[in-house]
């Protein structure tokens, strides 16, 4: 596994805690912070941004990844997620979003009192990926026999 050292994981998780201070969560009052670690060592924060139309709410993980991409950091090594409940792994949509940048990205989150590290591939097995899309091109107009 390509997990981070305990020291590096705690440093990234601390950046996620700091990001949660800037949350915009007036409806759920559920602040979430995230921090992305790029391969060059840059740490990029993000926080959840809610909207009165809940479907338009953006999770902290997607905000952090969007921020990273906007500054040219697409080689992602890890992402940490923090919420005050001490039990916040990324939601399904965020797992799919993180996976877009690689199945070996380390996800750091609290589970009870334990700081966990898992790859996004471990958190989202049998994922829909670019490889899935590439298979579609090979199939073309052929029918599938199930």
Active centre residues (catalytic):
61
* DSSP bridge partners of 45: 35
Long-range contacts of the stretch 125-128 (C-beta < 8 A, 24+): 127/95, 127/96, 127/99, 127/103, 128/96
Say how far apart CA 101 and CA 120 lie, in whole Å: 10
Say how far apart CA 44 and CA 38 lie, in whole Å: 8
Token reading at 140: 């073309």
């Amino acid at each position: 596994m390509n997990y981070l050292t305990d020291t590096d994981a705690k440093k990234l998780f601390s950046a996620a805690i700091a990001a949660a201070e800037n949350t915009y969560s007036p409806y759920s009052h559920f602040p979430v912070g995230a921090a992305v670690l790029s391969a060059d060592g840059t740490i990029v924060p993000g926080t959840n941004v809610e909207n009165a139309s809940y479907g338009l709410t953006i999770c902290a993980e997607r905000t952090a990844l969007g921020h990273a991409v906007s500054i040219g950091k697409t080689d992602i090594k890890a992402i940490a997620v923090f919420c005050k409940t001490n039990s916040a792994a990324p939601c399904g949509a965020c797992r799919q979003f993180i996976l877009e940048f690689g199945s070996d990205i380390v996800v750091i989150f609290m589970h009870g009192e334990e700081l966990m590290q898992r790859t996004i591939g471990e958190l989202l097995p049998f994922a829909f990926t670019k490889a899935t899309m590439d298979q579609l091109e090979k199939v073309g107009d052929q029918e599938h026999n199930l």
